[in-house]
C-alpha cells in the first residue's frame, strides 16, 4: 500500500483527505488471586482513508487494505452537509519518538510473574492487569501533514475486594503513561497495590457518609474527573457547536472562582493522554480553557473550529481507524495553588468531608448537572482526615461547583483514564491539586 | 496445505475468525452527515495444554499455523487456566442476523424518520445509527469450520428543547427498530423544563423500563457473571446458590436464543451451545452465566456465555427480569416516576448500591421534577417489579418500585 498515492488520488475526488497507517504490537497480562489468566501478545495493522466531500466526512477502514476498495468505499458513501475545515490548518510534521526503555514484548514474562506473585501475596481477592503497546502511526493529509509517531503506552490496574461486616467492598487503582513501557508497571505496581489495600481496609470499616456537607476537600483524582467530566466536556467544540454545552456563548465570562485556571495540554510525553499531534494531523498544543476563573477558549477539531470560527487546538481524536473524529480532551487539569494540603484541612474545619478518588460519574453538558461517586471519604476532625465513610460523592451543577472553589494546594497529580463519548474510548489524563470547595453539597452516592 | 490442528487432540484447541463490517451514519445539527465504513478481520488461535491456555490474536492476516504455534508456546509457559473445548461445535438455530444492518440507504431512512418526527421548536442536535454485521467462524480438531452470523443496528437521538432529551435502542435489523418512538421519547423528555422541587428523604420511586435497564446493567446483571463470582468481585458468592439474594419475587432469565433479539447467537466464542438459564427465581439465586473457565472454577456447567474474541469472558445474551406486580398498580403506589437517569454506571455490582441523578422525573401528579439525586440498593430496596417488560436493547426490563433516598441535585 502506498499511502502517498492513495492521498493524491483521494485529493482529486475530495475537498480534503487524510490517510492513516497503524501497526500495533500489544501485550495484555491479567492475574487473579495468584493465577495468571492471560499473558498474550497481539499484532494489529490497519489503513484508513477519511475524506471531506459535499460537506460530509466519509471514512473507509480495513485490516485487509486494498487501494481501490478504500477509495471506492470513501468516495461513494452517500452524505451531504456543510462541514468544512479552516484555511491552512497548522499541520504537524516529522518523526516523533515517544518510546520507553523496554519494548512490551521483551518484558512479557517478567510482567506476568510479578502480576502473579503480587496477586497471590495480597490478603484480599486481587486482580492485576497490565496492557502495554508499541504503535507505529503515520498520518498524511491534503493540507500538508506528514507526521509519524512511534509510541509506547502502558496502563495497569489493581482491584482488591473483601467482605466485611457491611458486605463486600472493592477498591480500584489505575496508572498509565505514554513514552513508557512495561518498566513502569515493574517499578510501581507494588506501591499502587499497597495503597489500594490500605484504602480497602478503611472502606471495610467505613460507615455510610453524611447526606450533606457545607464544605468538602476534593483530592486530585476526583478533582481531575470533575474538571474533565463536569467542565471539560462542555468546552468541546462539537458539543458547543450543536448547542449541547452550558458554556456556549460564555467566552470571556466568569465561570469559576478566581483561583481556578484549567488547561488542556497533550504536548509533554509521559501523561497517559498525551500526543504530539492529533488524529487530524494537527500539532498538539497547550490550551488555557479557564484563566483565573474566566472562560478563555473551547477545544476544537478541524470541523468544529470552522463552525465556531475558532482556531484549531489539535483535539480531534478517534479511538479506532474507522471512527469519526470528535473533539476530545487530552491532559486536562486544574493548575495548582499555593496552599499546603494541611492548610486546606484546617480551613475546611470539623465536619467537612475529604473525598478521595472516583468511581466514575456523568454530566449532562447541556444543563450542567453532574453526578460523581468517590471511592472513599473521611470526615475531618481537628484538621485531619479522621473517620472513613463510604457511599459518598457529589451531585450538583458544574458552574456552582467551580464558583465554590476557595483554596487550592500546591501539589499537582495527574491520573490516567479512558474517556467515553459517542461510543468511542480514548486515553486521557486529568488531575489537579487538592481543592477546598464551599457548598452546601449533597453527598449521597452508591 | 497442512492442517494447523492436525496434531492436536480434540478439546485442546479452537480457531476463531471474526469478520466485522460496520457502517456508521451520523447527522449533526451544525454540519450535516458523517459516514464511515470499517471492515476488520481478526484471527485467533487458542491452544490448551495440561499447563495452561495460550491465545494468539492477529489482524495482520497471519497464517493459522503461526498463531497455533504462538498460542502453544504461551500455554506451555503456564499462562492461563486449562479448559476443555467442545469436541464438536453444534450451533443452535436462532434469528440473530439481518443483511440490511449495513445497508447505508436503509440506515439513512432511519435518520430521516427521526428528522421528520422532531418538531421545529426542538433542535435535533445529533442522530446516529450504527449497523454491524459479524461473521464468526470456529474450528476444532477433526471438524470443519462452523459459522454463525449476527447483526445489530443501534440508533441514538439527542435533542435540545426546553430541556435536553435523548433516546436509544439496539435491535437485530433496521426493521425491528422504531425510529418514530425513539424520536417521540427524546422530544417528550426535552419538551418541558422541570420546575417542581424534588422531595427530600425516603421516597417510593417507580423506575420505568429504560431506567431499570440502565440500573440492572451495572448491578444485578454483572453480579450474576460466573467470572465475577469466581474472582470475588460480585455481590454473590458460590454458596449463595439457592439462597434469597433479592428482595421481592423477582425472576431473571438469560435467553441467548431468543429470535430477533440483539443478544442472541447460535454458539459462543468457545464453541459452546448457549443455554436458556433461569438465573433468579422468586428472588433466589438459581444459576450464573458462565464461560468454560468460570464454570470449571465454580464447579458448574458452562452455559455457553463465553463471548469475546481474545479470551472470552461470561457475557449475558438477552436477559429478562420480571416480577409479579401489575404495572399500573405499581405506578399508583409511587411518589416519583423516574424515566431517565444519569450516572448508572457508577452503581456497584459488588454491593448493589446505586446513586444516580434522575433527569426525567415526574411526581405523582405528572408534573416534571427538577433533576434530583436518588440513592438505593437494587438488591435490597425493591418493593415491587412488574410482570410486563419492555425490550431495551438486549434486556427485557420491567417497571420497578424501589425505596430510595431522594434529594436536590
pLDDT tens digits, residue range B340-361?
998 898 888 998 989 888 999 9
Enumerate the H helices of B232-366 as residue ranges: 292-298, 327-332
Q: Are residues A234 and A308 in the same domain?
A: yes
* Cell triple for A102: 523496554
Q: Does A208 touch chain B (CB under 8 A)?
A: no
Q: Write down the pLDDT at residue A259.
A: 97
Q: Are residues A216 and A201 in the same domain?
A: no
Q: Select the residue from B357, B372, B379, B405 to test the A interface by mutation, using most A Cβ atoms within 10 A.
A: B357
ipTM above threshold 0.90:
no
To which H or E segment does residue B55 belong? strand B53-58
Q: Are residues A196 and A216 in the same domain?
A: no
Q: Are residues A195 and A216 in the same domain?
A: no
Q: What is the phi-psi region of residue B9: left when phi exceeds 0, alpha when psi lies from -120 to 50, beta otherwise?
A: beta
Q: What is the distance in angstroms between the Cα of B62 and the nearest Cα belonging to chain A?
A: 9
Where residue A445 falls among pLDDT bands split at 50, 70, 90? low
The residue ranges of every structural domain in chain B are 13-189, 194-409
**Sign of the C-alpha dihedral, residues B367, B368, B369, B372?**
positive
Q: Does A11 touch chain B (CB under 8 A)?
A: no
Supply angle C-alpha B1, B2, B4, rounded to 5. Answer: 125
CATH number, domain B13-189: 3.30.2290.10
**A-proximal residues of B, 107-166, CB under 8 Å:** 108, 123, 125-126, 128, 130, 158, 160, 163-164
Which chain A residues are Cβ-neighbours of B24 within 8 angstroms?
Answer: 322-324
Q: Select the residue from B16, B17, B23, B34 to test the A interface by mutation, using most A Cβ atoms within 10 A.
A: B34
| Residue A114 pLDDT exceeds 60 | yes
Closest alpha carbon within chain B to A40: B55
**CB-based contact B350:A161 (threshold 8 Å):** yes
For A371-418, the DSSP string reads EEE-SEEEEEETTEEEEEEESEEEEEEHHHHHHTEEEEBS--EEEEEE
Residue B405 vs residues A259, A397, B197, B205, B336: alpha-carbon distances, Å:
34, 19, 15, 9, 11
Where residue B117 falls among pLDDT bands split at 50, 70, 90? very high
**CA-to-CA distance for A1 and B202, rounded, in angstroms?**
64
For A321-359, the DSSP string reads TTSPPEE--SEEEEPP-SB-HHHHHHHH-TT-EEEE--S
Q: Are residues A292 and A201 in the same domain?
A: no
Q: Are B311 and A323 a contacting pair at CB < 8 A?
A: no
Q: Does A105 touch chain B (CB under 8 A)?
A: no
Q: What is the distance in angstroms between the Cα of B167 and the nearest Cα belonging to chain A?
A: 13
The mean pLDDT value for B264-280 works out to: 97
Q: Are residues A113 and A218 in the same domain?
A: no
Q: Are residues A254 and A403 in the same domain?
A: yes
**A-proximal residues of B, 41-100, CB under 8 Å:** 41-42, 52, 54-62, 70, 74, 77-81
For B14-35, the DSSP string reads EEEEEEEEEEEEEEETTTEEEE
Q: Are A244 and B164 a contacting pair at CB < 8 A?
A: yes
Which chain B residues are Cβ-neighbours of A303 within 8 angstroms?
Answer: 31
Q: Write down the pLDDT at residue B147.
A: 97
| Residue A236, helix vs strand vs coil | strand
Q: Which of A205, A235, A263 is the last residue of a domain?
A: A205
Q: Select the residue from A363, A395, A424 to test the B interface by mutation, using most B Cβ atoms within 10 A.
A: A395
Which chain B residues are Cβ-neighbours of A123 within 8 angstroms?
Answer: none
CB atoms near residue A134 (< 10 Å): 20
Cβ neighbours of residue A126 under 8 Å, at least 6 residues apart? A32, A33, A118, A119, A158, A159, A160, A193
Chain mean position to CA B190: 26
Q: Are residues A161 and A305 in the same domain?
A: no
Closest in A32, A39, A364 to B79, CB measured: A39
Q: Does A267 touch chain B (CB under 8 A)?
A: no
**CB-based contact B118:B184 (threshold 8 Å):** no
Q: Does B367 touch chain A (CB under 8 A)?
A: no
Mean pLDDT of chain B: 94
Pairing of strands A262-264, A212-218: unpaired
Summarize pLDDT for B92-111 with one digit per residue, the tens.
999 999 999 999 999 999 99
Q: Write down the pLDDT at residue B409.
A: 60
Q: Does A364 touch chain B (CB under 8 A)?
A: yes
Where residue A90 falls among pLDDT bands split at 50, 70, 90? confident
Count of the separate structural domains present in chain A: 2
Where residue A66 falls among pLDDT bands split at 50, 70, 90? confident
Summarize pLDDT for A313-349 with one digit per residue, the tens.
999 999 999 899 999 999 999 999 999 999 999 999 9
Closest alpha carbon within chain B to A321: B38
Q: What is the distance in angstroms between the Cα of B152 and the nearest Cα belonging to chain A?
A: 14
Closest in B38, B348, B375 to A444, CB measured: B375
Q: Are residues A231 and A325 in the same domain?
A: yes
Closest in B28, B79, B345 to A112, CB measured: B79
The mean pLDDT value for A203-231 works out to: 93
**CA-to-CA distance for A184 and A271, rounded, in angstroms?**
12
Q: Are residues A163 and A217 in the same domain?
A: no
Q: What is the distance in angstroms between the Cα of A268 and the nearest Cα belonging to chain B?
A: 31
| Residue A87 pLDDT exceeds 70 | yes
| Residue A265 pLDDT exceeds 70 | yes
The mean pLDDT value for B295-324 works out to: 95
**CA-to-CA distance for B291 and B300, rounded, in angstroms?**
10
To which H or E segment does residue A365 belong? none
Domain containing A180 equals: 3-205
**CB-based contact A370:A395 (threshold 8 Å):** yes
Q: What is the distance in angstroms between the Cα of B100 and the nearest Cα belonging to chain A?
A: 16
Closest alpha carbon within chain A to B72: A40
Q: What is the distance in angstroms between the Cα of B93 and the nearest Cα belonging to chain A?
A: 30
* Cell triple for A397: 451543577
Which of these, B393, B315, B396, B403, lies nearest to B353 by C-alpha position? B403
Q: Write down the pLDDT at residue B309.
A: 84
Q: Are residues A199 and A227 in the same domain?
A: no
> The domain spanning residue A184 has which CATH number?
3.30.2290.10
**CA-to-CA distance for A422 and A419, rounded, in angstroms?**
10
Residue with cell 476563573: A293
Separate counts of helices (H) and strands (E) for chain A: 9, 25
**A-proximal residues of B, 378-397, CB under 8 Å:** none
Q: Which of A157, A188, A205 is the last residue of a domain?
A: A205
Closest in A37, A242, A364 to B126, CB measured: A242
Where residue B271 falls among pLDDT bands split at 50, 70, 90? very high
* Cell triple for A93: 510534521
* Cell triple for A383: 484538621
Mean pLDDT of chain A: 93
Q: Which of A174, A189, A205 is the last residue of a domain?
A: A205
* Cell triple for A229: 467530566
| Residue A415 pLDDT exceeds 90 | yes
Which chain B residues are Cβ-neighbours of A46 within 8 angstroms?
Answer: 40, 59
Task: Give the phi and the psi of residue B178 in degrees, each rounded to 5.
Answer: -100, 95
What angle do the packed helices B104-117 and B179-191 form, to 10 degrees?
30
CB atoms near residue A230 (< 10 Å): 27
Q: Select the residue from B24, B26, B29, B40 to test the A interface by mutation, using most A Cβ atoms within 10 A.
A: B40
Q: Higher pLDDT residue, B295 or B1?
A: B295
**Sign of the C-alpha dihedral, residues B371, B376, B381, B385?**
positive
* Cell triple for A141: 493529509
Q: Does A308 touch chain B (CB under 8 A)?
A: no
Q: Are residues A8 and A76 in the same domain?
A: yes
**CB-based contact B227:B314 (threshold 8 Å):** yes
Q: Are A442 and B373 a contacting pair at CB < 8 A?
A: yes
For B194-259, the DSSP string reads --BPPP-EEEEEEEPHHHHHHHHTTTHHHHTBHHHHHHT-SS--GGGTTSB-SSSS-EEEE-TT-T
Chain mean position to CA A300: 16
Amino acid at each position: 500500500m502506498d499511502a502517498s498515492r492513495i492521498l493524491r488520488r483521494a485529493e482529486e475526488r475530495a475537498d480534503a483527505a487524510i490517510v492513516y497507517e497503524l501497526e500495533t504490537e500489544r501485550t495484555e497480562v491479567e492475574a487473579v488471586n495468584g493465577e495468571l489468566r492471560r499473558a498474550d501478545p497481539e499484532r494489529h495493522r490497519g489503513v484508513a482513508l477519511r475524506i471531506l466531500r459535499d460537506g460530509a466526512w466519509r471514512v473507509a477502514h480495513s485490516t485487509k487494505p486494498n487501494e481501490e476498495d478504500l477509495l471506492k468505499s470513501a468516495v461513494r458513501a452517500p452524505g451531504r452537509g456543510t462541514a468544512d475545515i479552516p484555511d491552512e490548518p497548522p499541520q504537524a510534521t516529522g518523526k516523533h519518538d515517544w518510546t520507553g526503555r523496554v519494548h512490551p514484548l521483551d518484558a512479557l514474562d517478567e510482567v506476568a510473574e510479578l502480576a502473579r506473585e503480587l496477586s497471590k501475596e495480597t490478603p484480599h481477592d486481587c486482580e492485576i492487569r497490565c496492557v502495554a503497546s508499541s504503535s507505529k502511526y503515520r498520518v498524511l493529509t491534503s493540507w500538508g501533514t506528514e507526521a509519524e509517531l512511534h509510541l509506547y503506552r502502558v496502563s495497569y490496574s489493581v482491584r482488591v475486594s473483601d467482605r466485611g461486616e457491611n458486605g463486600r467492598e472493592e477498591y480500584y487503582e489505575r496508572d498509565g503513561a505514554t513514552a513508557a513501557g512495561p518498566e513502569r508497571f515493574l517499578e510501581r505496581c507494588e506501591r499502587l497495590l499497597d495503597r489500594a489495600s490500605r484504602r480497602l481496609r478503611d472502606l471495610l470499616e467505613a460507615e455510610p457518609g453524611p447526606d450533606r456537607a457545607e464544605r468538602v476537600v476534593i483530592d486530585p483524582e476526583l478533582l481531575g474527573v470533575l474538571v474533565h467530566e463536569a467542565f471539560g466536556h462542555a468546552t468541546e467544540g462539537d458539543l458547543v457547536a450543536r448547542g449541547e454545552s452550558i458554556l456556549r456563548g460564555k467566552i470571556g465570562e466568569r465561570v469559576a472562582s478566581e483561583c481556578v485556571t484549567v488547561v488542556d495540554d497533550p504536548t509533554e510525553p509521559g501523561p497517559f493522554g498525551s500526543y504530539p499531534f492529533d488524529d487530524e494531523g494537527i500539532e498538539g498544543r497547550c490550551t488555557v480553557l479557564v484563566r483565573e476563573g474566566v472562560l478563555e477558549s473551547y477545544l476544537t477539531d478541524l470541523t468544529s473550529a470552522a463552525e465556531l470560527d475558532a482556531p484549531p487546538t489539535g483535539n480531534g481524536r478517534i479511538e479506532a481507524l474507522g471512527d469519526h473524529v470528535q473533539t476530545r480532551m487530552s491532559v486536562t487539569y486544574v493548575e495548582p495553588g499555593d496552599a499546603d494540603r494541611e492548610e486546606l484541612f484546617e480551613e475546611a474545619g470539623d465536619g467537612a468531608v475529604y473525598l478521595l478518588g472516583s468511581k466514575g460519574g456523568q454530566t449532562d453538558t447541556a444543563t450542567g448537572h453532574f453526578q460523581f461517586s468517590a471511592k472513599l471519604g473521611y470526615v475531618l476532625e481537628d484538621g485531619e482526615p479522621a473517620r472513613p465513610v463510604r457511599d459518598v460523592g457529589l451531585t450538583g451543577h458544574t458552574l456552582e461547583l467551580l464558583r465554590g472553589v476557595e483554596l487550592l494546594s500546591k501539589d499537582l497529580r495527574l491520573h490516567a483514564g479512558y474517556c467515553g463519548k459517542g461510543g468511542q474510548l480514548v486515553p486521557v489524563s486529568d488531575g489537579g491539586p487538592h481543592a477546598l470547595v464551599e457548598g452546601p453539597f449533597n453527598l449521597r452516592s452508591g | 496445505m497442512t492442517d494447523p490442528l492436525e496434531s492436536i487432540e480434540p478439546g485442546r484447541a479452537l480457531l476463531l475468525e471474526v469478520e466485522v463490517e460496520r457502517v456508521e451514519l451520523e447527522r449533526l445539527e451544525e454540519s450535516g452527515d458523517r459516514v464511515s465504513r470499517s471492515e476488520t478481520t481478526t484471527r485467533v488461535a487458542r491452544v490448551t495444554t495440561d499447563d495452561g491456555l495460550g491465545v494468539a490474536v492477529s489482524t495482520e492476516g497471519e497464517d493459522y499455523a503461526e498463531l497455533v504455534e504462538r498460542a502453544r508456546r504461551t500455554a506451555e509457559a503456564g499462562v492461563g487456566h486449562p479448559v476443555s473445548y467442545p469436541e464438536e461445535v453444534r450451533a443452535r438455530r436462532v434469528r440473530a442476523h439481518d443483511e440490511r444492518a449495513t445497508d447505508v440507504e436503509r440506515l439513512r431512512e432511519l435518520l430521516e424518520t427521526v428528522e421528520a418526527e422532531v418538531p421545529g421548536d426542538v433542535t435535533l442536535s445529533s442522530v446516529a445509527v450504527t449497523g454491524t454485521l459479524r461473521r464468526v467462524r470456529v474450528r476444532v480438531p477433526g471438524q470443519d469450520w462452523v459459522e454463525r452470523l449476527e447483526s445489530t443496528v443501534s440508533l441514538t437521538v439527542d435533542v435540545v428543547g426546553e430541556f435536553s432529551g435523548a433516546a436509544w435502542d439496539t435491535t437485530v435489523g433496521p426493521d425491528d427498530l422504531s425510529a418514530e418512538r425513539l424520536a417521540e421519547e427524546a422530544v417528550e423528555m426535552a419538551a418541558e423544563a422541570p420546575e417542581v422541587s424534588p422531595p427530600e428523604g425516603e421516597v417510593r420511586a417507580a423506575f420505568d423500563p429504560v431506567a431499570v435497564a440502565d440500573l440492572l446493567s451495572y448491578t444485578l446483571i454483572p453480579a450474576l457473571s460466573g467470572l465475577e463470582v469466581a474472582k470475588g468481585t460480585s455481590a454473590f458468592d458460590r454458596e449463595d446458590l439457592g439462597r434469597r439474594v433479592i428482595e421481592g419475587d423477582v425472576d431473571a432469565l438469560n435467553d441467548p436464543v431468543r429470535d430477533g433479539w440483539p443478544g442472541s447467537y447460535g454458539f459462543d466464542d468457545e464453541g459452546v451451545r448457549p443455554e436458556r438459564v433461569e438465573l433468579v427465581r422468586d428472588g433466589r439465586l438459581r444459576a450464573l452465566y458462565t464461560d468454560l473457565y468460570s464454570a470449571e472454577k465454580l464447579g458448574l456447567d458452562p452455559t455457553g456465555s463465553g463471548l469475546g474474541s481474545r479470551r472470552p469472558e461470561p457475557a449475558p445474551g438477552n436477559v429478562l427480569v420480571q416480577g409479579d406486580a401489575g404495572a399500573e398498580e405499581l405506578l399508583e403506589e409511587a411518589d416519583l416516576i423516574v424515566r431517565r437517569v444519569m450516572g448508572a454506571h457508577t452503581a456497584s455490582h459488588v454491593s448493589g448500591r446505586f446513586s444516580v441523578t434522575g433527569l426525567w422525573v415526574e411526581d405523582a401528579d405528572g408534573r416534571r421534577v427538577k433533576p434530583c439525586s436518588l440513592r438505593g440498593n437494587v438488591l435490597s430496596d425493591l418493593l415491587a417489579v412488574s410482570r410486563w417488560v419492555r425490550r431495551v436493547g438486549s434486556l427485557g426490563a420491567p417497571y420497578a418500585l424501589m425505596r430510595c433516598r431522594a434529594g436536590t441535585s
